[in-house]
Amino acid sequence: MEDADPLALDPQFAARLRPAGKRHDCQIYLISPNDVDGDFPDHLRAVLDAAPVAAFQFRVKGIDQHAAARLAEPLQAICAAADVAFIVNDDMGLAKRLGADGVHLGQGDGDVREARGLLGPDAQIGVTCHASRHLAMEAGEAGADYVAFGAFFPTKTKKTEHFAGVELLGWWSALSDIACVAIGGIDAANCAPLVRGGADFLAVSGGVWNHADGAVAGVQALHRAIAVVD
């Protein structure tokens, strides 16, 4: 018989350590599709009108910063009008250029301290931590405003090399006041364990934009699914 992993996380860890009566509100962190040209601004406006969204991440690959800024500016204005935080993926220079609310850094996209120095004390800085407790602790110590764990489910949005277990959310939420974001293949049908497990935000892209009944239906279904658990 194999020995138990001494570093394995107990799924009930958070339930034992989270203070009784602590309020847990999970919110939607919406990630853009790669194609945000054409009539996408109208779709974004409709989605933000349809259900509460805390943050929108501008995630567009394969274009230069000038083209990215041209695409981002109308979306940033829509988010500002809806009181939704506008976060730029990977590129702290673009975040600075736009005056965005924050930046999300993947591993290798720059240091939290560097981003803080460039964007200022009020910027929301998040860090991809995959399934790593060590990376999350490092990000927290560097001053990140949130850590992102995942993928929790298979996803077509990006190539998946790391999968996280729900118990990681519980461990982090019991340990730290820094927000945690769950990401990867999340939709209305599978989000309940993540909400129950301690995610502060659900980062969702395909679960909204590729919903069979359209993006508005997708975000409304996600909001209802979260509310049932919360």
Structure tokens at 222: 């996600």
- 194 - beta bridge partners? none
- Write down the pLDDT at residue 161: 73
154-180 residues labelled b (16+ CB within 10 A) or e (exposed): ebebeeeeeebebbbbbbbbbbeebbb
Which secondary structure element, helix H or strand E, spans residue 204, and what is its range? Answer: strand 201-204
Residue with tokens 């981003």: 115
Taking only the tens place, the pLDDT of each residue in 14-46 is 443 444 444 468 999 999 999 999 999 999 999
- Write down the pLDDT at residue 8: 58
Other Cβ atoms less than 10 A from the Cβ of 212: the count is 6
Task: For residues 2 and 22, give the distance between their C-alpha atoms in angstroms, rounded to a whole number.
Answer: 37
Taking only the tens place, the pLDDT of each residue in 53-74 is 999 999 999 999 999 999 999 9
pLDDT of residue 202 exceeding 90: yes
Taking only the tens place, the pLDDT of each residue in 115-173 is 999 999 999 999 999 999 999 999 999 999 999 999 999 877 666 677 899 999 999 99
Task: For residues 116 and 106, give the distance between their C-alpha atoms in angstroms, rounded to a whole number.
Answer: 15
Under the banding of pLDDT at 50, 70 and 90, the label for residue 216 is: very high
- Write down the pLDDT at residue 3: 39
Classify residue 141 by burial, with Cβ atoms within 10 Å: 0-12, 13-18, 19+: exposed
Q: How far is CA 209 from CA 1, 150, 214, in A?
A: 46, 19, 7
Mean pLDDT of 192-201: 97
Region class of 126: left (phi > 0), else alpha (psi between -120 and 50), else beta: beta
- Write down the pLDDT at residue 17: 40
Question: Which domains are present in the chain?
Answer: 24-174+181-229 (3.20.20.70)
